[in-house]
Structure 1
Amino acid sequence: MQSVNTIAILLATLIAVGLQGSTALTCTDGTASNPCTTSCFTSIDDKGVVSRGCVAENASCAAPSCISCTTDNCNAPLVCKSCDGLGCTLVTAATNNKICDAGQECYNQLQPDGTITRGCGPKCATDSCSSCTTDNCNAGIYPANRLLCYQCTARESCNVPGNATMLKPCALFKEQDQQCYMAGNSYQNMTRGCSTDAAALCPQGSSDSSCCFCSDQNGCNYNQYSSYLGRCIKCSGENCIDKQLATAGADCARYNYTVNEVSCYTQLEANGTVTRGCSNERQTSCAETANCKSCTGSNCNVDEISLSCITCRSDNNAHCRQGDHIGGTACVNPPAAGQASECFEGQWNGIVIRGCLSDAGSLMQSQCKNTADNRCKTCAAIDCNTSSYNGASSLQLSFGLFALLLIALQQCL
């Protein structure tokens, strides 16, 4: 009977010990510790969300998305991204996860070569390192001002990089001398990327004319191979000289990807009329053509335009004889029908006179248009009347003035 009692006591003791063992383990769920009879786990889903707790009976927990352990609150330390080198530029998937030791923080360390190292460690103590204390807080872009460029190559979808997955941080971080680029010879053969990439089609400093660089904002290399950028006033003839209505603009031809903003022009023609249009539809640029003004922005070429000429007299302006250091003045009167807008310059009785031919008197206009009269000449470009007249010419006198001086001399004798 005594042996039976001894066996019963032994069984009860074993059961008690077993029950105690089954409740001895505690696991954290992220906010509190709870008893567990299996093992603790830490898991991360494909969106980077971390979960903690007790592994359910007969449930599986397989690395790398789930890690289990069997000591009290062993699943409490942080989960951090852990990687280095070029593949560590941007980490968001459920990979590169590491369970830190107790007391460690997540960190991102910028290396001298522009790559990133991520992992678990002590709190950062330098400006090139950043630490944080929540799960996977060291995922994402680091440093925050790292340049993002559209990155794709040689496929039709690269012509219109609307897919957000194509916008990526540059593999190397550079404070300076780093740009986004785009290059191609058709909409089906576009390449976009970072100028500092090892295999960049357009490396930093390239002089290849097909390469278009930018760095003014993230994703600036988004232009299509050719695209519609805007509208300009398009007109010619007599009615085109007046101020135009912005609502009267017409579409410009499609632009090559190297052009970021629409450009319009206003051309004052030799006959005094005006032509307006889109800069990319001209055969020559405004900068290479006289009396042409360009502007940027849709319908920007609306202003009234007229010829301007150097306007002065040498008897009241010391610079007028040389024709320098004098700004042009807009002509007041339009040219007569069939006449060109012209400037004039000439010398009468030793006085140099310059101005707009259409603003001169009828006698002066007649003299200036007479090719046999060498007192005056004309030109048909903005502020073109800048010929220099030397001082010796000031001694030239008209016959009438010479006669008066001769009579005065005779009276003195």
Structure 2
Amino acid sequence: MRGLQTNRHSCFHHLLLLFLILLRSGRCFAIVCYHCDSIALPECSQTLGEVGVLPYKECPTQLTCAMSIVDSITYRGCGAETPITGATYSKTCSSNLCNAGVYPPGRLKCHHCAGQECVAAPAAKPKPCRYHLEEDQCYTDVISSLEAYRGCASEQNHTLSTAAKLCDINGCNDEQGAWTQVCATCDSAIGRGCKIDLFQVNTGRCNVSLYEECQQDVLLGEQEDKYCFSFRRLSRVVRGCSTKMQTDLESYVDKLEKCNTSDHCNAGCITQQKCFTCNSVDQELCRTNITAIANSTCSSAEASSCFSCEYSNWSIQRGCGAPPANPQITKCYECDEGAGCNSKDFTRCYQCSTDQAGAGCANWESPGEIYIEECAEPAAPCVVVSYNNGTTARGCQKSDFSCASANVASCLPCEGSFCNKGSFPEERLWCHQCRGVQDCEEISRGQTAMPCPLRANEPEDQELACLEYFDVNSKEIVRGCRSDPELYYECLLRSNHLGSCRTCHSQACNNSPGRELRAGYKLEAKALSLLQGKSSAISKYSNVGHGIWLLLSASYLST
């Protein structure tokens, strides 16, 4: 009986051991893995490895867990059950819940929120994007001070406005969505103290203190349109908010100094102006050589510009600030481009055109109808221009008259008053150019000599020449340039013979006296007249002889 009980007890132990072995053997072939996809559960891709967020599953017949990215969808699960066909990324591991954490590790992380609480800068950690794209971006889209959206562009759960701000660094969409900006506002044309505070000039950080405040609500993405500004032009300085800008400043928007870094960021002092300060009545160098005088810092806080004025007695005054009001002043300019900007002189240039003044405007031999032009811009260059059609003009350089103008053959700018004198262009052949007028009969030095026009497609190696001839049709003396094809053909066809179309190659060489050009024609005309007279006489004698022969013939026949 006791033996039977012993056998039963031994058998029970064997069965229990076998069960434990089988049980332990079964556990050796099982593993626990996270099991999800980001379509059904966004947290499947957006987890940062938090415990208790993702569902898990026991894989009784698997030894591995897996993660994969297929068509931007994140999958986690048992090794054989996780799709990997067409996967851009896939990974397996062999420990319980090993398929956790951000995958792939470099996945972009962005802040996610919507609504009014999204306007403030987010305090939570950024989360990975739900869908994985290699070139994904974070966005912040602030609609108003009560509505904003943040997230990943790939999620397409919000239609972005034109003001949305995009970025591609982890957690980069964390900026404040809306705030109130405070700016300094003042206008030196209305009150003092808007330019500089002399008590702070040498402190290293100079701000004006006499100003009021303006405020404007700013949304993220509007910084370029909403800003504090300061504007400086000559003797005027203006500060304020961009949304409350004076209408007369709207045309100067591109010249505003803008900022949005902090409140009152536009309150900085302007640079203290430096000007030449002198009067040619007391100091002749003020007119003749201003560079020999040193400029000085303006002592007045309101002096933001420099001036230079010319008086009716030709004296020059230069100084700080706006020009003085004096009835004896004939012209002034004000500047603020930099230290000593009032060093520019008032320029005067010769003004003429060969179309009105004749050849003298070009050859400068006997200039007539030449005027003096006072340049509108201080220190403007004087210019002499030769156009393709042969016209020469002189004057002050301006927008519609410069070396950059159309159809310019050659051009010479120069600095200083009355510098645009002398013959021009020197490298072009000069010829007398006239037809039929009395001045064309007898040429005086420089009377009608002008540069030959530059013809289109003129060969560079063509030797230029002057020509002159007597036109047998119009009975006129003609002079000009051989480079004028029509005139050259007329010279060959209308002169009395080939040698009468004279050409030469030196400056103003076609100056033969008119009587000399006519002489050949007159000589030929006289010879032709004599020839015609002889021909007429011979014809007369021939007719008389013919009559006598007829009489003799009649007499012979009658006998």
- 1:210-258, CA deviations, whole angstroms, 9 ceiling, x for partnerless residues? x4222153343344552247x6666665544335557989896442232
Residue 104 of structure 2 corresponds to residue 143 of structure 1: yes
Query: Counterparts of 1:8-157 in structure 2 under 5 Å?
Result: 8-26=2-20, 70-72=23-25, 74=27, 77-86=30-39, 87=41, 88-91=44-47, 93=52, 95-100=54-59, 104-111=63-70, 113-121=71-79, 128-153=89-114, 155-157=115-117
Structure 2 counterpart of 1:305, from 257, 264, 270: 270
Distance 2:156 2:228 in 1: 39
Cα pair 1:227 1:255 within 8 Å, conserved: yes
1:67-124 superposed Cα distances (whole Å, 9 cap, x missing partner): xx9453616744222333533323554543133467733332222x2222223338x9
Larger radius of gyration: 2
**Structure 2-normalised TM-score?**
0.42
CA positional deviation for 1:142: 1.8
Does residue 227 of structure 1 match 2:221? no
Matches within 5 A, 1:9-408: 9-26=3-20, 70-72=23-25, 74=27, 77-86=30-39, 87=41, 88-91=44-47, 93=52, 95-100=54-59, 104-111=63-70, 113-121=71-79, 128-153=89-114, 155-160=115-120, 162=122, 164=124, 167-176=126-135, 178-187=137-146, 189-202=147-160, 208-209=161-162, 211-228=163-180, 237=188, 238-242=192-196, 243=201, 244-245=205-206, 253-259=216-222, 264-268=228-232, 270-272=234-236, 274-276=237-239, 282=245, 288-289=252-253, 292-298=256-262, 300-301=265-266, 303-306=268-271, 333-334=297-298, 341=305, 358=319, 372-373=330-331, 377-378=333-334, 388-391=380-383, 392-393=394-395, 397=418
Deviation of 1:386 after TM superposition, in Å, equals: 8.6
Matches of 1:174 and 1:369, distance apart in 2? 76
Show structure 1 runs of 5+ residues with no match: 27-34, 36-68, 203-207, 312-330, 347-352, 399-413
Are the aligned partners of 1:148 and 1:219 in contact in 2 as well (CA < 8 Å)?
A: yes
* Structure 2 CA distance for partners of 1:138 and 1:386, relative to 1, 3 Å: farther
Residue type of the partner of 1:89? Answer: S
Secondary structure of the 1:117 match is strand
Q: What do the CA deviations read for 1:114-135 (whole angstroms, capped 9, x no partner)?
A: 222223338x9x9833444443
Contact 1:25/1:72 (8 A) holds in 2: no
Query: What is the Cα deviation at residue 288 of structure 1?
Result: 4.3
Higher relative contact order (CA 8 A, sep 6+): 1
Distance of 1:369 and 1:14 partners within structure 2: 137
How many residues were matched structurally?
A: 305
The 3 A distance-change label for structure 1 pair 159 and 396 is closer
Conserved? CA contact 2:229–2:257, under 8 Å = yes
Give, as a single letter, the amino acid of the residue that structure 2 aligns with 1:137. Answer: C
Change (3 A) 1:19 1:345: farther
User: 8 Å contact 1:105–1:121 — kept in the other structure?
Assistant: yes
Letter in structure 2 aligned against 1:150: H
Separation in 2 of the partners of 1:235 and 1:74? Answer: 81
Aligned-residue identity in percent: 21
Q: Is the 8 A contact 1:148 1:169 kept in 2?
A: yes
CA distance in 2, matches of 1:108, 1:379: 71
Per-residue CA deviation, residues 361-384 of structure 1 (Å, 9 max, x unaligned), is x9xx679997744xx644677899
* TM-score under structure 1 length normalisation: 0.54
Question: In the alignment, residue 7 of structure 2 is paired with which amino acid?
Answer: T
- In structure 2, distance between residues paired with 1:16 and 1:370: 135
CA contact (8 A) 1:368 1:378 kept: no
TM-aligned CA distance change 1:271 to 1:308, over 3 Å: closer
Counterpart code for 1:221 = N
Q: Distance in 2 between matches of 1:71 and 1:281?
A: 80
SS of the equivalent of 1:10 reads: helix
Cα–Cα, structure 1 residues 233 and 158, in superposed 2: closer, same or farther, change >3 Å? same
Distance 2:296 2:60 in 1: 85
Q: CA 1:397–1:387 in 2, change beyond 3 Å: closer, same or farther?
A: closer
Unaligned regions of 5+ residues in structure 2, if any? 277-294, 311-315, 343-376, 384-393, 396-413, 420-559
Q: Quick one: distance in 1 between partners of 2:119 and 2:418?
A: 73
Q: How far apart are 1:197 and its partner, in Å?
A: 1.8
In structure 2, give the amino acid aligned to 1:129. S
Q: Relative to structure 1, is the Cα distance of residues 332 and 224 closer, same or farther in structure 2, using a 3 angstrom cutoff?
A: same
Kindly report the root-mean-square deviation, in angstroms, between the aligned alpha carbons of the 2 structures.
5.2
- Which segment drifts farther, 155-164 or 279-288? 279-288
Contact 2:139 2:153 (8 Å CA) reproduced: yes
Deviations 1:379-409 (A, max 9, x none): 67789979853424468549xxxxxxxxxxx
* 2:207 and 2:268 in contact (8 A); partners too: no
Q: AA paired with 1:195?
A: A
Question: Residue 148 of structure 2 aligns to which amino acid in structure 1?
Answer: M
Q: Which has the higher helix share?
A: 2
For the residue of structure 2 that corresponds to 1:17, the secondary structure is helix
Match of 1:40 in 2: none
Question: C-alpha deviations, 1:315-359, integer Å up to 9, x for none?
Answer: xxxxxxxxxxxxxxxx9544979777257799xxxxxx9xx9646
Query: 1:332 touches 1:359 (CA, 8 Å); kept in 2?
Result: no
Instruction: Determine the C-alpha separation between the residues in 1 that align with 2:176 and 2:113.
Output: 13
Provide closer, same or farther for how the CA distance between residues 280 and 80 of structure 1 changes in structure 2, counting only shifts above 3 A. farther
User: Alpha carbons of 1:377 and 1:269: their partners in 2 closer, same or farther (altered >3 Å)?
Assistant: closer
